């Protein structure tokens, strides 16, 4: 695993502020061990140890790192029909997902505590028989802070993942700063970003599966729009990182892809509130991409533009966020009391 960090540059020397803060942060660019969740968690623990040894206080992992991003799969779905083979593929994918809370969550929490780092981990979460693409938050004491479920899966992702709601849209006030995360293309949703800005996000994490050049433009825009540090982590994967055919196919039975072919090129990056690229983007292979963050940059950027402060116009434009859990079935206290009474009379 290579370590990439920002090259030294000359900077203007400023008087130190009594509340000045700095942070070394790392975005992890690595592949899942697909269909092997225990091996993936082992790999995550090694990467956490490696990042901590480099002095990082925050590690951000890619979208779906534990459980896997099923790139190239169609799960046998076409409009109006699903195949038996696709259903069996979903069964195997479901088996690779994790429960939250659960043993894998406990292992990541223990690693965060052991190495005294904050961790944001992309996982595929199993809840009943529905899967969610989720980001989990851990602090450096090993506490599981909570999660963000991807609110809007993209395209065919909607076949295999459920929709998150406003109850998992947190920004956590931690010892290293205010942490929040949106996953992949939901970062393109202006109102969703605005909700994070309004919660005071400083470390805006963007686990993704998008390695295209256009993604870099989105990350640059968000850093400047939000006046926050943006830390985007993507997997770097070759065809050989997935199971071979016929256990796993990219797009159909006629797959003709070399095992060495790159199927996700990474592009993980760290960007400052002023729009300066601090580290990355990396398109070369698995890497720990690291930068030192000066929180004074947030304040300096806000002079120009504070999207939910002096640059807001609440007299003209307002956003209302429904942050209540949305449950498909609810039971009133009266019904529960009646059921209890009936059971006592049996």
User: What would the pLDDT profile of 23-72 be if each residue is shown by its tens digit?
Assistant: 999 999 999 999 999 999 999 999 999 999 999 999 999 999 999 999 98
Q: Given this model, what pLDDT does residue 334 score?
A: 58
pTM (two decimals): 0.89
CATH topology of domain 19-344: Nitrilase/N-carbamoyl-D-aminoacid amidohydrolase (3.60.110)
The answer to whether 246 and 297 have CB atoms below 8 angstroms apart is no
Say yes or no to pLDDT of 20 above 90. Answer: no
Task: Please determine, for residue 13, whether its predicted confidence score (pLDDT) is greater than 70.
Answer: no
Q: What is the DSSP string of 53-67?
A: HTT-SEEEPPTTTBT
pLDDT at residue 324, rounded to an integer: 92
Q: Do 291 and 216 meet the contact criterion of CB atoms below 8 Å apart?
A: no
What is the token pair recorded at 172? 């956590």
Please state the rounded mean pLDDT for residues 226-253.
89
* Active site (annotated) includes residue 63: yes
pLDDT at 135 over 90: yes
**How many angstroms separate the CA atoms of 227 and 171, rounded?**
15
Instruction: Tell me the CA distances in angstroms from 127 to 32, 93, 99, one per residue in order.
Output: 21, 13, 7
List Cβ neighbours of 121 (8 Å cut-off, separation of 6 or more).
Answer: 44, 61, 65, 66, 108, 135, 136, 138
Q: What is the DSSP string of 143-196?
A: -EEEEEE-SS--TTHHHH-----GGG--EEEETTEEEEE--GGGGG-HHHHHHH
Q: What is the mean pLDDT of residues 196-209?
A: 97
For residues 80, 85, 91 and 96, what is the CA-based torsion angle, rounded to 10 degrees?
-120
Can you tell me the mean pLDDT for 207-213?
A: 95
Whether 290 contacts 26, CB under 8 Å: yes
Distance from C-alpha of 327 to C-alpha of 218, rounded to nearest angstrom: 33
Q: In this model, does residue 286 exceed pLDDT 60?
A: yes
The better pLDDT of the pair 281, 344 is held by 281
CA distances from 96 to 203, 221, 251, 288 (A): 29, 35, 20, 25
Name which of 139, 117, 127 is nearest 51 in CA terms.
Answer: 117
Catalytic residue among 63, 104, 202, 225: 63
Band (225; pLDDT cuts 50, 70, 90):
very high
The verdict on whether omega for the bond into residue 246 sits within 30 degrees of 0, i.e. cis, is: yes
pLDDT digits (tens, 9 = 90+) for 115-133: 999 999 999 999 999 999 9
Phi, psi of 293, deg, nearest 5: -105, 130
Handedness of CA 25, 31, 35, 41 (dihedral sign): negative
- Per-domain residue ranges for the chain? 19-344
Q: Stretch 323-339: mean pLDDT, rounded? A: 75
């Amino acid at each position: 695993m290579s370590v990439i960090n920002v090259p030294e540059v000359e900077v203007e020397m400023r008087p130190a502020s009594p509340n000045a803060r700095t942070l070394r942060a790392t975005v992890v660019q690595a592949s899942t061990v697909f269909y092997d969740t225990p091996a993936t968690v082992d790999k995550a623990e090694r990467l956490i140890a490696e990042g901590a040894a480099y002095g990082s206080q925050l590690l951000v992992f890619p979208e779906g790192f534990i459980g896997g991003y099923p790139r190239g799969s169609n799960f046998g779905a076409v409009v109006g029909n699903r195949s038996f083979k696709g259903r069996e593929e979903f069964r195997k994918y479901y088996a690779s997902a994790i429960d939250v809370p659960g043993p894998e969550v406990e292992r990541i929490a223990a690693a965060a505590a052991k190495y005294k780092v904050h961790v944001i981990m992309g996982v595929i979460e199993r809840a009943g028989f529905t899967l969610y693409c989720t980001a989990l938050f851990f602090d450096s004491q090993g506490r599981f802070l909570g999660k963000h479920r991807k609110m809007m899966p993209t395209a065919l992702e909607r076949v295999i993942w459920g929709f998150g709601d406003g109850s998992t849209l947190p920004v956590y006030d931690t010892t290293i700063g205010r942490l929040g995360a949106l996953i992949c293309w939901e970062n393109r949703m202006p109102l969703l970003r605005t909700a994070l800005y309004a919660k005071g996000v400083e470390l805006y994490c963007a686990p993704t599966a998008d390695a295209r050049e256009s993604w870099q433009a989105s990350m640059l825009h968000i850093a400047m729009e939000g006046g926050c540090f943006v830390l985007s982590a993507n997997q770097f994967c070759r065809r050989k990182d997935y199971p071979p055919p016929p256990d796993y196919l990219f797009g159909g039975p006629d797959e003709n892809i070399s095992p060495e072919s790159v199927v996700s090129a990474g592009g993980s990056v760290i960007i400052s509130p002023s729009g300066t690229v601090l580290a990355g983007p990396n398109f070369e292979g698995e890497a720990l991409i690291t930068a030192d963050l000066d929180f004074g940059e947030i304040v300096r950027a806000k002079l120009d533009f504070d999207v939910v402060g002096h640059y807001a116009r609440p007299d003209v434009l307002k956003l209302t966020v429904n942050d209540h859990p949305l449950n498909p079935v609810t039971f009133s206290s009266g019904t529960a009391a009646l059921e209890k009474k009936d059971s006592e009379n049996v």
